[in-house]
Amino acid sequence: MAFQSQSSARKTYRLARDNVFAALFTSSVIIGVLVLAWLLIEVFMDSIGWLDWQFLSSYSSRHPDQAGILAPIAGTFWVIILTAVMTVPVGIATAVYLEEFAPNNRITRLIQLNISNLAGVPSVVYGLLGLAIFVQYLFDGQRSLLAGALTLSLLVMPIVIIASQEAIRAVPPSYRDAAYAMGATRWQVVKMVVLPQAIPSIMSGIILAMSRAIGETAPILVVSSLVFITYVPTSPFDRFTVLPLQIVTWVSQPQDDFRHIAAAAIVILLVMLLTMNAAAIYIRAKFQRRAEY
């Protein structure tokens, strides 16, 4: 009887402890969601009356009622396109090599460790690296779209590689074994079996990595350091600015109206990020349906 009483007391204690932790976790989630919702509501309320065609089609100005985000939007699209072009092929190829072709030796493990470490490096460090290598050395002090895209490529490359590796690892080994049993070469297995199965997750990881690149301010601030632009960049060697950098500049202004146009720019940035995330979900679902057939 004494043993049963002690066992029942321990079960009661564990149940009470689990309930306390569950309540704390639920409360933390609810508080976080409420704070985020409150911030979003504040941003949307501040942007009312400022989101119009004039705001979207105008250049930056010292007068809030004349300021717009045409140049930052164009610069953002330029940077993301160039970053994707330079990052995606190299990132996927690196992941395929490390997972399917590289020998399991000390050098490969060292490379894998460094890739994982690079994914956690603060973005401002990449900005300083881009300033030293791309701006000062490669382009002789010229701050350009290409320098910014190269810097962001260094930032998101480890993320793309890791996401691609995880997608490739998720392909069942039985698929590879079946292809080898039919006489396929290693490259044929990768090309015809592994990559088609891994593409949905790879694409999702790439789009999420590009979403992070869109929201980065520190590396672009170091590489670009230009926020007042009255033209749309037409060449990879043009000066540029991006939406996050423009938002930071407007928020730091003393006039209250700049806070409203900063809120309007935040809404546009959120729409861009949500669109990219929705595209990632759609592409993944589409490729998964195709893979099932």
8 Å CB contact between 75 and 145: yes
Average pLDDT of the residues of the chain: 85
Task: Please give the CATH superfamily to which domain 53-292 belongs.
Answer: MetI-like (1.10.3720.10)
Separation of alpha carbons 219 and 131, rounded Å? 9
Separation of alpha carbons 245 and 222, rounded Å? 10
Residue extents of the structural domains in the chain: 53-292
Which pLDDT band holds residue 7 (cuts at 50, 70, 90)? low
8 Å CB contact between 148 and 77: no
8 Å CB contact between 60 and 227: yes
8 Å CB contact between 119 and 162: yes
**Is residue 1 over pLDDT 80?**
no
- Mean pLDDT within 163-187: 88
279 phi and psi angles, rounded to 5 deg? -65, -40
235 phi and psi angles, rounded to 5 deg? -140, 150
**Is residue 252 over pLDDT 60?**
yes
Question: pLDDT tens digits, residue range 75-104?
Answer: 889 999 999 999 999 999 999 999 988 888
Looking at residue 292, its pLDDT comes to 59
Question: pLDDT tens digits, residue range 23-41?
Answer: 888 888 899 899 988 988 8
**Residue whose pair of structure tokens reads 């066992």 in the numeric block:** 7
Looking at residue 199, its pLDDT comes to 86
